Amino acid sequence: MSLGTFLQHLANGISLGSLYALVAIGYTMVYGILRLINFAHGDIFMMGTYFAFYGIAVFTLPWYLSFLLAIVLTGILGMMLEAGAYRPLRDAPKISILISAIGASFLLENLAVVIFGGRPKAFPTPRVLTDVVHIGSISIQNLTFVIPVVTIGLLIALLYLVHNTKAGMAMRAVAKDYETAAIMGVNVNKVISLTFCIGSMLAAVGGIMWGLKFPQIIPLLGVMPGLKAFIAAVIGGIGDIKGAVIGGFVLGIGEIMLVAFLPELTGYRDAFAFVLLILILLFRPTGILGEKIAEKV
């Protein structure tokens, strides 16, 4: 393999990995604060993509406005989901909330089939973002630069929010022990609602980036990215926001390299992600950046 081909593979891997990372941040954030695996995250992601699509295709908004509106709407949808499917079960056993999350996921998917139709739609792609730059023999889409920048930017903003603001402090308090936090005067409902809002907005950003990179959207669009982002979050150490980004890159680059160097294993590409998940759970259950379990005891 020539150097040019290898660098091209690397660029492809970074581009895919940053997408996984973007979706994984939202996943891991909700988990970090509520200890809840929000299996509907992938479908929220899909909804965000469709909102952006309709903004441009039906309401003919300029793309940036449509994207912004879609992100806000998805945030509201996330808050509604939390209020409808998770809040009533907050004091129920954890497994009930998990099942409720799976139910919410199916509900969103089927609603999308009914509302948006089952046929694939072409996601509108503004030229600025999809044009290609050629560096030597390597071809890189503008998006390949944009997505990691957006991912890292959001990561920094999120870390700032969690560690340096009052809302972030409340989030961390709720994460530690939400009953005590409530006694100490933290409005738990508001904090959790905010968490879901931000998590869903991140999902929408991920969905829009996904739509730009793979401009074909169907109602089941969120299923695989949702699972992959979950795996990325586990690899990085679920609950840890920086870990999610690292996990996303590991998974994305790993997948591309698998196809690149072992083409005969291409059919097992998705299986690779799950095998990686199993290995991580077996040998380093808390992930790359995960906290040590002993500390919690």
Partner 1 sequence: MKKKLATVLSLILLVSFVFTGCSGNKASSGNGSNDSSVIKIGVLEPMTGANAAGGALEVEGIKLANKLYPTVLGKKVELVIVDNKSDKVESASAASRLVENEKVSAIIGSWGSSLSMAAGDVVKNAQVPAVAATATNPLVTQGNDYYFRVCFIDPFQGKVMANYAYNKLKAKKVAIIQEVSNDYSVGLAKFFTDAFKELTGDENAIVAVSNYNTGDQDFTAQLTNIKAKNPDVIFAPGNFTESALIIKQARQLGIKAPFIGGDTWETPEFIDIGKEAVEGATFSTFFTSEKPITKESEKFLAEYKKEYGDKEPSAAAALGYDAYILILDAIKKAGSPDPVKIRDELAKTKDFPGAAGVITLDENRNAIKDAVIKEVKGGKFTYLNVVGAN
Judged by the rule CB under 8 A, the positions of this chain that interact with partner 1 are 1-2, 5, 8-9, 12, 15-16, 83-85, 87-88, 107, 110-111, 113-114, 117-122, 130, 132, 134, 137, 139, 141, 214-216, 218-220, 224, 255-260, 263-264, 266-267, 269-270
Residue 34 CA: distances (Å) to CA of 134, 205, 242, 288: 45, 22, 17, 21
In whole angstroms, give the CA distance from residue 249 to residue 228. Answer: 11
- DSSP for residue 292: P
Looking at beta carbons only, is 178 or 272 nearer to partner 1? 272
Looking at beta carbons only, is 88 or 153 nearer to partner 1? 88
Smallest separation (angstroms) from partner 1 to the CB of 115: 9
Token digits of residue 38: 């929000």
Q: Report the candidate in 291, 178, 279, 276 with the shortest Cα–Cα distance to residue 242.
A: 291
Looking at beta carbons only, is 8 or 200 nearer to partner 1? 8
Angle, helices 41-57/94-116, rounded to nearest 10 degrees? 20
- Under 8 Å between Cβ of 218 and 118: yes
Name, in order, each residue with C-beta under 8 angstroms of 261's C-beta and a sequence gap of 6 or more: 1
Answer positive or negative: Cα dihedral of 34, 40, 46, 51. Answer: negative
Looking at beta carbons only, is 172 or 268 nearer to partner 1? 268
Looking at beta carbons only, is 10 or 167 nearer to partner 1? 10
Question: What does DSSP say about strands 216-217 and 121-122: parallel, antiparallel, or unpaired?
Answer: antiparallel
Smallest separation (angstroms) from partner 1 to the CB of 33: 22
Looking at beta carbons only, is 16 or 232 nearer to partner 1? 16
Q: Report the candidate in 199, 173, 164, 160 with the shortest Cα–Cα distance to residue 78.
A: 199
Smallest separation (angstroms) from partner 1 to the CB of 286: 29
Smallest separation (angstroms) from partner 1 to the CB of 118: 3
Smallest separation (angstroms) from partner 1 to the CB of 189: 12
Smallest separation (angstroms) from partner 1 to the CB of 32: 26
Looking at beta carbons only, is 128 or 157 nearer to partner 1? 128
Looking at beta carbons only, is 56 or 259 nearer to partner 1? 259
Smallest separation (angstroms) from partner 1 to the CB of 121: 8
In whole angstroms, give the CA distance from residue 236 to residue 251. Answer: 10
Smallest separation (angstroms) from partner 1 to the CB of 225: 9
Q: DSSP string spanning 18-73?
A: HHHHHHHHHHHHHHHHH----TTHHHHHHHHHHHHHHHHHTT---HHHHHHHHHHH
